Amino acid sequence: GIQVEQSPPDLILQEGANSTLRCNFSDSVNNLQWFHQNPWGQLINLFYIPSGTKQNGRLSATTVATERYSLLYISSSQTTDSGVYFCAVYTGTASKLTFGTGTRLQVTL
Amino acid sequence: NAGVTQTPKFRILKIGQSMTLQCTQDMNHNYMYWYRQDPGMGLKLIYYSVGAGITDKGEVPNGYNVSRSTTEDFPLRLELAAPSQTSVYFCASSAGGAFSPLHFGNGTRLTVT
């Protein structure tokens, strides 16, 4: 099956810093989604982004499907950005998402 | 704005017991999913459904069963609980499978001792 790898696995930032999280996938995909799992365990859908660039406040995401990667940008990070960020992909005709390994982000004061 | 609702939030089972994790959504979504997340790990798909009366296995279906008699409900049944089933279970739904965002419930934390 498809492999979905995220980097870096862990990231510590000071509040106000910017960061880029990467998601690489091993096969062509129908679409890609980014999720944030907060410290209480809730999973929030950030972006549905099969290709191109989208922005939502301080967050933006870019997917280059032909080169099999996606990037999540976090600008002016805040402590509430802490948690784990997952990318997930749909492949072929399957109606199911395959999740990446996650990036654990800690934002400190 | 209920979205996807899971019950219970927490449960402790003894080895060999059975239980049903409940999941209901009020968004009229056809697609529903069950994932498990082991400590410090990503999510693995257990079962999914593309509509009432239709279910299919995911990556890790052994030890679980599902049914989908209505659009709203997608219960997950654990038979003969084992310590390896200690995990956090998430239910999710989407309107159009691969072509729409996935929405998660808040999870059920299950411990089997």
Over 90: is that where the pLDDT of B4 sits?
yes
Is the link from the previous residue into B39 a cis peptide, with omega within 30 of 0?
Answer: no
The list of chain A residues with pLDDT below 50 reads none
Q: Which of A56, A61, A51 is nearest to A6 (CA)?
A: A61
| pLDDT for res B31 | 93
Mean pLDDT, range B50-58, rounded to an integer: 93
Nearest C-alpha of chain B: how many angstroms from A43? 6
Is A56 an interface residue toward B (CB < 8 Å)?
no
Nearest C-alpha of chain B: how many angstroms from A42? 5
Predicted confidence (pLDDT) per residue in B64-108, tens digit: 999 999 999 999 999 999 999 999 999 999 998 777 889 999 999
| pLDDT for res A90 | 86
| pLDDT for res A30 | 83
Mutate to test the interface with B, among A95, A101, A103 (most CBs of B within 10 A): A95
Asked if A73 contacts A86 with a C-beta cutoff of 8 angstroms, the reply is no
CA angle B73, A102, B4 (to 5 degrees): 15
Predicted confidence (pLDDT) per residue in B10-23, tens digit: 999 999 999 999 99
Is B39 an interface residue toward A (CB < 8 Å)?
no
| pLDDT for res B39 | 87
Over 90: is that where the pLDDT of B2 sits?
no
Cα separation, B61 vs B3, whole angstroms: 25
